Amino acid sequence: MAIFVTATGTDVGKTYVTCALIREAKRIGLSVRAYKPVISGFNEADAQESDTGRILHALGRKCDRASIQDLSPWRFAAALSAEMAAEREGRVVPFDDVAAFCREVAARTSDLCLIEGVGGLMSPIDTRRTNLDLIVASDARPLLVAGSYLGTISHTLTALAALKAARLEPIAVVISESDASPVPMSELIERLGAFARVPLFGIGRDQGAPRALLDLIVKA
């Protein structure tokens, strides 16, 4: 099972959710692999604190050059969309190569393969295509991560509408608790659930992935 971890926007908890799923999968004895093919805002001198470094730590792997290259072959320094970050370096993100990489890692034998996107669902990968296009080209099932901040219901429903328009059915929506949450997680899930016809899960700060979420993913 290949899961593409995407989000309603940037910095809402994709990597936190990815790492939580890795740890829960390992805890119950599943084999799990995870990748973040494209990363922007990457500083090699501070690699352990990057999204790639955090994923490697969750996997129990060393954060060395070989492992970084294995998880994130396309790395860019500027903390911008992938397309803009690549442009700053006189480069482009080779969309077809990234999509082929996603399909290749998904095809390898494993109980669970997690592929984390770069930025939000509609964040550009190149000058014409976004993470949404990459999910389609990757043949992976999307898992949508949202925050619990004010405005997240609108952002989440917009992202779900974009996925539906692309004929993609998200396996679930995971709400990762934001620093400033105007309402309790349970109330947010209830209100969002009135509009979103997908399974909803909440992850509080410093909490692991719900076992029910992992069971849903494995059974899909």
Which neighbouring-strand residues pair with 75? 39
Say which residue, 108 or 39, is predicted with more confidence: 39
Give the catalytic positions in this structure.
36
Q: How confident is the model at residue 66 (pLDDT cuts 50, 70, 90)?
A: very high
CA distance 171 to 184: 23
pLDDT at 1 over 80: no
Residue-range domain boundaries for the chain: 2-31+97-219
The predicted structure's pLDDT at residue 74: 98
Q: How confident is the model at residue 180 (pLDDT cuts 50, 70, 90)?
A: confident
Size of the chain in residues:
220
What integer is the mean pLDDT of 19-23? 96
Q: Nearest-5° angle of CA 142, CA 121, CA 8?
A: 95
The answer as to CATH 3.40.50.300 being correct for domain 2-31+97-219 is: yes
pTM for the full model?
0.96
Q: Which residue has the tokens 């922007």?
A: 40
Pair of tokens at residue 17:
């959710």
Q: Which of 115, 140, 8 is nearest to 51 (CA)?
A: 115
Using CA atoms, how far residue 204 sits from 6, 53, 63, 99, 184, in Å, is: 18, 22, 27, 32, 10
Which 8-state DSSP code applies to residue 177? P
Phi, psi of 29 (to 5 degrees): 90, 20
